[in-house]
A and B are shown apart, each in its own frame.
Chain A
Amino acid sequence: MMKFRFRRQGNDPQREKIKQELFAFNKTVEHGFPHQPSSLAFDPRLQIMAIGTKSGAVKIYGAPGVEFTGLHKDTAAVTQIQFLPAQGRLLSLLDDNSIHLWELVGGAPREVGGARREPTVGLQEVRSYCLPGRPGIENCSTSRVTVLLLLGSCDLLCVGTEGGGVHFLDLPRLSLRENQSLLQDQVIQSLPDDYRCGKSLGPVESLQEHPQQPGVILIGYSRGLVVLWDLSTRHVDHVFLGKQQLESLVWERSGKSFVSSHNDGGYSVWAVTSGNPYTQQPVSSTIPYGPFPCKAISKILLRTTVSGAPMLLYSGGMPRASYGDRHCLTVQQDKEHVTLDFTSRVIDFFTIHSVEREQEFDEPSAVVVLLDEELVVVDLHTPGWPTLPTPYLAPLHSSAITCSCHVSSVPPKLWDRVLQAGRAQRQAPQQQQQQQQRGSWPICGGKNLAPSAKQQELLLTGHEDGTVRFWDASGVALTPIYKLSTAGVFHTDCDPADDPQGPDDDPDDRREEEDEWPPFRKVGCFDPYSDDPRLGIQKITLCKYSNKLVVAGTAGQVLILALSDERSDHQVEVSVVDLLQDREGFTWKGHGRLDPRARPGPFPPGFQPQLLVQCMPPASVTAVTLHAEWHLVAFGTSHGFGLFDYQRRSAVLARCTLHPNDSLAMEGPLSRVKSLKKSLRQSFRRIRKSRVSGKKRPVPTTMPTSKVQEANAALAEQEDVAPVQRRIEPRSADDSLSGVVRCLCFADTFLRDGTHHGPTLWAGTNSGSVYAYALEVPGVGSGPGRGGEPGSGSGGGGGGGGGAGSSVEALLGKEIQLMHRAPVVWICVLDGRGRPLPEPYEASRDLAAAPDMSTAHSVLIASEEQLKVFSLPKVSAKTKFKLTAHEGCRVRRVALVALSSAVQEDYSEHTLVCLTNLGDMHLFNVPALRPQVRYDCIRKEDISGIASCVFTKTGQGFYLISPSEYERFSLSAKVITEPLCSLQLDRPLEHASASDGPTAQPRANGTHKNQTDQAEGQAEDLQSGLSSPAQDSPLDSPLSFADLTLDSTGELTVEDVRDFLTTVDEVENNMRNIKEEEGRTAGILIN
């Protein structure tokens, strides 16, 4: 037996080769808005933008699809970034006072799964430098870098420090020019006596190079002094004796004047004259939002225009008392004055303007504002300064993401209609601006080399505020397409009386605001506040062939929507389904159900609600599935599940899944709060206890002399605290929340007997129960001779379908109780060849290969602990894999994906992907359930990342790495969506050594497991680990025949005997299947 096992374990090289051609794990691109951005830079020559984050990531964006990412070794915030224009290099300053030089390098050609891939360009750190502290002075804050200035010649970096010194570094070597530093003492000497007054000048706040005279820089000190310093002569050319604390400086293009912004919310214009080296007073000084005390203007920009008056842009400066909490950027030119009012903090901004020396004017075309939570671009060319929609960097979390759903290969028709609906939606708020020509996206550097997507992919995200957003997920840039709001269907507490589906910035509001001062304009879409938490979206499912969308939410609401190109004013029908049925003794203590609005319309073009089903009690919907071909929607909550026929507008079935002992389920969402309170209390108690025990500790008579002893004592005290314990107890039937319905699935399969197939519904619960219902759907044949097409297709109206007058009926066919009682995560029916059944309409419209109905089907049930395949119609176990027993991990997410070979055309395999609570991906073949490979994917601590993971049909996936970012990954060696782009640089592109190519790139945010080349190795380890259990008793085998052979006891009635006989057939079938399976694949033991 052992020998046999080991022989088989010697992996079949042929199979190994196929595996390499099929499976490859790559984290490919990060979608969305970088979490906690901290700095911004722009390269006007290459037209690319860089964003640094608090986690030490640097991301470069150009035209849509052009993206580069770099990650500093230390996770310190990137406080400043500077491009070396046109060189594809950038400098970053970190919070830890180190300066880093980055460079774009060409990657080595790679090979994935035997297929050659284009080399990509990556961002690589070349050099770093840390300014030394002044010798002899321990307090290093004086050498802390406050500002960086890169001279136009790109060979010298000026570094301003906290101590007021300016240091010079040669580029690109990043070496300090010794003895050339400009220290404060030197500047103070050239000041008039009355200005000195013995105080220091404060940190360097701003460094700006003269726009016309290279090598002359303007140095602004915090106390208010501004000095014009000539680098070549090392001489103070001019001194501006400002008295107000300085925040920032900006040159006028001609170099004849500059503007300074101040702490008191004002700005001053200074003239640079060649005569008197001392200027006492600015030409003009303004506090725009005075006269009451104002907040500082943290940054100011002055841009000249052809049309006359220069444009002034500045952040902050709001009246402290009335609007001190607003995050604002003011744009003013002549009489036009707009205060852009953002929902999150302004981090930095820049204008896009002409930089050629020959040009006389700046002529700004756009201002790009980086906020804490989003990026806003305002078109300055277009009158009225409208905002430009961003093609990427969309704030996914504008309202918190609560769920997501991916739709692969969207039919072009649906795609176009959704695009159109989205376009109409975006135009609506702009209508009063007379449909101007929109400016184009100004950050357009680089060229996207990625081949255009063969098929369109939609990512749907559900949000806390009841909206569903549609994203174009076909390529590297995740672009918003369309937004659907469900809030309008309901009556919420803070309900404006009128149109809830109206645009974000209401024209009426704006008109009112025009009289206001400051002239606020709300900009941006980040809005984390939800009107009513019950509106939150929990589950989404879309039928891409019938354009039916089902959206289910926190208060048990299930909305069925249909796509329409016309505005509609119809009534939404409401049905209430009682999931408790006749269960008594339960009282729901949670939130009430949402009140549907009497007149919710009119609905704009797009997805329009047709029908609202509300579950009672109104617990959050935990599972939803739709079969548009049968016009059925099934939904589950923590109390049970229901089946609704939305064509005939009738509830077909409601089934309570509550266990009699499960009282917690009735408490509603509040019970969680309670338990949190309890755990808080406990932890406080523990802390208190540890403190007390620390005090009680007798003071040793001999003083602890060494620090080590003290540390040890402290350590010992820590150990006094009770360690974390875990109770080892099997799951019991009355574990709390056992009735939660975890998954639902429709299938046309064999439930009653082996010859007649028909519609079925499967439901799995938290306590390991699976209910299988046989459905009678009029017009859908239940046998080899199928009935005709079901009636009326995607018609929106009611009306009878195929069989007039008859209704859908559901009969409980089987009830399966998994003995290990683990929650059932996923159910899928496989056809006679072990492939998943096609989606609704796919078979009837010849869009996919018809399922094999000639041989026995099977059902794959994935629980948190094990994967199991049962034969149908008699539910007997065929194969299984016990993941938890082996690995100690629990299944969190399961999907069946089709992976294509990267080398062989037309070869693909269906693979079961399991994401576990440890954040690793296990891949199994179906239906044999043999482990293929395992990859580390998400840190196990990142629970929200694991919970948010969604898979595509082709083996890609998305998960949240922060509230605002999706990481896209690929398990397929063939289907990889990653940035593939080029930049035209001034320098020859160097090539990185093959070892540290961009494939091994670290990812941002530090939420990832380190992904090195060990994936393959781990796979091997897993294999050997699984194939050789340490003891010789067959504790578990993926293919256990015991299940089949022992299935002969129990009371045998006549019917049972008949069943039994079919089982014998099946046993033979299974044996045959298994044998075939063996022939094809290897690498697994048979005990």
Chain B
Amino acid sequence: PACIENKSLSYGAEFRRFSVDRVKPGKFEEFSRLIMHIHRIANMELMIGYADVHGDLLPINNDDNFCKAVSMAHPLLRIFIQRQEEVDYTSFGTNTLTRRKKAVVTMRNDVNRKRPHIRIGMPQDFRPVSSIIDVDILPESHRRVRLYRHGSDKPLGFYIRDGTSVRVTPHGLEKVPGIFISRMVPGGLAEGTGLLAVNDEVLEVNGIEVSGKSLDQVTDMMIANSHNLIVTVKPVNQRNNVVRSSRISGSSGQSSDSGGSTGYPSLSVGGGGGALSAGAGGVALESDEEADIVIESSVKRPSRRSNASVASAASTASPAPPSPPSRPPSVVSTASFHSQLSLNGSTNHQHHHHHLSYQLHRDLNLQNGPQTSNPALRHSNGSLHKILSSLRTDPRHSLALPRGGVEEDGTVITL
């Protein structure tokens, strides 16, 4: 280990970045000890995992897979540490699709079984990055996905292409031109949601049908709506219609465009004061308008004249945004780990917030907090707890918060 870097976040947690000799990584035992030492963890059975290039979570438990893991780093390797007893082994795997399917099944049967409840953070601490909307009014085979960008520097991250789609018409099957998703940028927002996939057919962009429009037109429409993009797709894989299956279990049929609607797959923590000041978060999120920034020169210091909905957007322009510090670019690829698990974050750090509050909550229950926790956090956890318990009573939420929660269970610390 050459250098150790500490990153301190607003919650006081510590994330560690350290280097390992790529050529001579050494033994797993040493590595395990190193991690225990760095995090000052003692007397605890740990499960160490890493995210491979495909974003799959794979275990590190012997020399071989440790070497493999180190060789996978390009240049950063993300290591996940979980308490042994909390490891959900279903989350390890190579095939994302089958794993997803399993997760759905598990979710249906296991609601009351092993896991007592699913905990999420306070709504205002989170900012959605994507949602499935209008489930009730769309045909089962379609999916309307909303991507929230909120001024994050994460790319939307997908490509579209021309193609042909087969439609059933009174005259039989007919080939018609269509627009398809052709590629996902690893680590992009689109991939991170897990709601869009390559070869999904794009049917509408922000409510406007794309049939009859050229690829360039659709591109322009999407870019013009990029700050609040709503894409209706016909997923190429129709078996994964999670939203529909969740409706079977009696979740309310009513659906709205609001943040808390059915099939809301996951949330992640908002970055700065902006989201908090929004008060009724829904309003801020709903406003499709991003106001333009006007800087008056008579006032030397750039004053923010935008409205609440813009707070996040404005942060990109204001000189010193309180929002998440910019990620080192090298982390981009590792972020895809989360995307495969359908846990969405606009940045890595937002993820960490998520895991952290989550973990702290558990720690409170278990009276077994890690040494890094501080009083301030505990305080915030109190209110978090209240919110969570109120949420728990709503069956819709416990049902609808699916795979992300299921799979992200357990203590996760990122190095």
Contact = CB atoms under 8 A, between A and B. Distances in A.
A1030 interface: yes
A819 interface: yes
B88 interface: no
Given A811-B297, A813-B297, A724 B215 contact: yes
A819 B219 contact: no
Contacts of A886: 208, 221
Which of B219, B296, B317 lies at the interface centre, i.e. has the most chain A CB atoms within 10 A of its CB? B296
A889 B220 CA distance: 7
B162 A1035 contact: no
B294 A1030 contact: no
A435 interface: no
A890 interface: yes
Contacts of A730: 149, 156, 223, 226-227
B297 A814 contact: yes
Contacts of A731: 223
Nearest to B229: A728
- Is chain B's interface secondary structure helix, strand, loop, or mixed overall? mixed
Contacts of A813: 296-298
B311 A1049 contact: yes
B217 A918 contact: yes
Which of A728, A918, A1051 lies at the interface centre, i.e. has the most chain B CB atoms within 10 A of its CB? A728
Contacts of A890: 220
Given A816-B292, A885-B221, A1030-B204, A1047 B307 contact: yes
A723 B224 contact: no
A1035 B215 contact: no
- Is chain A's interface secondary structure helix, strand, loop, or mixed overall? loop
Contacts of B204: 1030
Given A725-B160, A1035-B206, A1056 B289 contact: no
Interface in A191-236: none
Given A885-B221, A885-B225, A887-B217, A727 B290 contact: no
A1014 to B, nearest CB: 15
B209 A1051 contact: no
Interface in A720-752: 723-731, 752
A1030 B209 CA distance: 8
A711 interface: no
Contacts of B294: 814-817, 875-876
A817 B293 contact: yes
A141 to B, nearest CB: 41
A723 B178 CA distance: 13
Given A887-B217, A1035-B288, A1050-B304, A723 B309 contact: no
Contacts of B34: none
Contacts of B309: 1042, 1046
Interface string B183-212: 100000010000000000000101111100
B234 to A, nearest CB: 15
B308 A1049 contact: yes
Contacts of A1042: 287, 289, 307, 309
B25 interface: no
B313 A819 contact: yes
Contacts of A812: 297
Contacts of A877: 291-292
B292 A1035 contact: no
Contacts of B298: 752, 813, 1055
Interface in B211-251: 213-230
Interface string B138-161: 000000000001000001111111
A814 B298 CA distance: 8
Contacts of A1055: 298-299
B292 A817 contact: yes
A1036 interface: yes
Interface string A848-877: 000000000000000001101000000111
Nearest to B225: A885
A817 B317 contact: yes
Interface in A1004-1041: 1029-1031, 1033-1036, 1040
Contacts of B287: 1042, 1046
A709 interface: no
A1033 B215 CA distance: 25
Contacts of B182: 723, 725
B68 to A, nearest CB: 32
Nearest to B278: A1049
Contacts of A1040: 289
A653 interface: no
B159 A727 contact: yes
A725 B161 contact: yes
Interface in B249-300: 257, 277, 286-299
B307 A884 contact: no
B217 A1051 contact: no
B303 interface: yes
Interface residues of B, number: 65
A815 B297 contact: yes
B125 interface: no
Which of B157, B210, B257, B289 lies at the interface centre, i.e. has the most chain A CB atoms within 10 A of its CB? B289
Contact of A728 (B156, B209, B307, B310): B156
Nearest to B274: A1049
Contacts of A1034: 288
B308 A1046 contact: yes
A739 B259 CA distance: 37
Given A725-B160, A731-B223, A1035-B206, A888 B217 contact: yes
A1036 B210 CA distance: 17
Interface string A891-935: 000000000000000000000000001100000000000000000
B155 A726 contact: no
Contacts of A173: none
B59 to A, nearest CB: 35
A1040 B288 CA distance: 11
Given A728-B159, A1049-B308, A1043 B289 contact: yes
B163 A723 contact: yes
B305 interface: yes
Contact of B223 (A729, A814, A1049, A1053): A729
Nearest to B296: A814
B161 A726 contact: yes
A1051 B277 CA distance: 12
A726 B308 contact: no
Which of B162, B208, B216 lies at the interface centre, i.e. has the most chain A CB atoms within 10 A of its CB? B208
Contact of A1050 (B134, B306, B317): B306
Contacts of A811: 297
Given A725-B159, A884-B221, A1033-B257, A818 B292 contact: yes
A866 B287 CA distance: 18
Contacts of A866: 224
A882 interface: yes
Interface in A366-387: none
Interface string A274-297: 000000000000000000000000
A1050 B293 contact: no
Given A724-B161, A729-B155, A1050-B304, A816 B293 contact: yes
B218 A888 contact: yes
Given A813-B297, A888-B220, A1049-B304, A729 B311 contact: no
10 contacts: A726-B215, A728-B226, A752-B298, A814-B294, A817-B292, A889-B220, A1029-B206, A1030-B207, A1033-B207, A1036-B288
Interface of A: 723-731, 752, 811-820, 822, 865-866, 868, 875-877, 882, 884-890, 917-918, 1029-1031, 1033-1036, 1040, 1042-1043, 1046-1051, 1053, 1055-1056, 1059
Q: Which 9 A-B pairs have the closest CB atoms?
A: A888-B217, A1046-B307, A730-B226, A884-B224, A1050-B304, A819-B290, A726-B219, A1030-B207, A1031-B207
Given A728-B226, A884-B224, 19 more contacts: A723-B182, A725-B161, A726-B218, A728-B159, A728-B222, A729-B226, A730-B156, A730-B227, A815-B297, A819-B293, A866-B224, A885-B224, A888-B210, A888-B218, A1030-B204, A1033-B207, A1046-B307, A1047-B291, A1056-B303
